[in-house]
Amino acid sequence: MIETAFMCLALNIYFEARNQPISGQIAVAQVVLNRVAHQRYPSTICAVVKQGPTRPSWRDKNIKIPIKHRCQFSWYCDGKSDKPKELDAFRWASFVAHGVMQSDFTDYTHGATHYHSIEVFPRWALAAKKIDAIGDHIFYKY
């Protein structure tokens, strides 16, 4: 698969929010764009999506691979395939990615840079300002 900003965003939407309503998928995408716009995070969509600690590959020390379960977005370094299996869901994620990148959708998160599933409560959420809950995710701003 070719790495482009569009593909990185579509994959992030797919793996993080494919079971969410469209508003939840837009919100997850918007968090990525909000991070790109924030000085604290990398300045490209792919760098934001793939942000996390790396280690040298055992095959080639010049290749850096993400450390399992330490990425900003869990799907990227969970050790599973990053190839979408549900094609209809990936088409929707792609539609959302296109719309968000073209500024066709409202930022339902009001500038949020973080979110988590309602099934967990990460320590960082204590220090952040809760913005809203959309679908199965809670969105925050620092």
pLDDT at 1 over 60: no
pTM attached to this predicted model? 0.93
**Is 19 buried (19+), middle (13-18) or exposed (0-12) by CB count in 10 A?**
exposed
Residue 11: what pLDDT? 98
Do the beta carbons of residue 38 and residue 113 sit within 8 Å?
A: yes
Mean pLDDT across the stretch 45-52? Answer: 96
More confident site: 142 or 130: 130
CA gap 5, 19 in Å, rounded: 22
Beta strands 54-56 and 137-141 are unpaired
What does the radius of gyration of the chain's CA atoms come to, in whole angstroms? Answer: 15
Where does the pLDDT of residue 2 fall: very low under 50, low under 70, confident under 90, or very high at 90 and above? low
DSSP 107: -
Residue 98: what pLDDT? 96
The 10s digit of each residue's pLDDT in 77-110 is 999 999 999 999 999 999 999 999 998 888 989 9
Mean pLDDT across the stretch 1-20? Answer: 93
Residue 40: what pLDDT? 95
Do the beta carbons of residue 132 and residue 106 sit within 8 Å?
A: no
Do the beta carbons of residue 52 and residue 66 sit within 8 Å?
A: yes
Do the beta carbons of residue 35 and residue 142 sit within 8 Å?
A: no
The token pair that represents 125 in the structure block: 């959420």
CA distances from 111 to 35, 70, 119, 139 (A): 9, 24, 23, 9
Where does the pLDDT of residue 142 fall: very low under 50, low under 70, confident under 90, or very high at 90 and above? confident
Mean pLDDT across the stretch 32-52? Answer: 97
Do the beta carbons of residue 100 and residue 107 sit within 8 Å?
A: no
Amino acid identity, position 133 = A
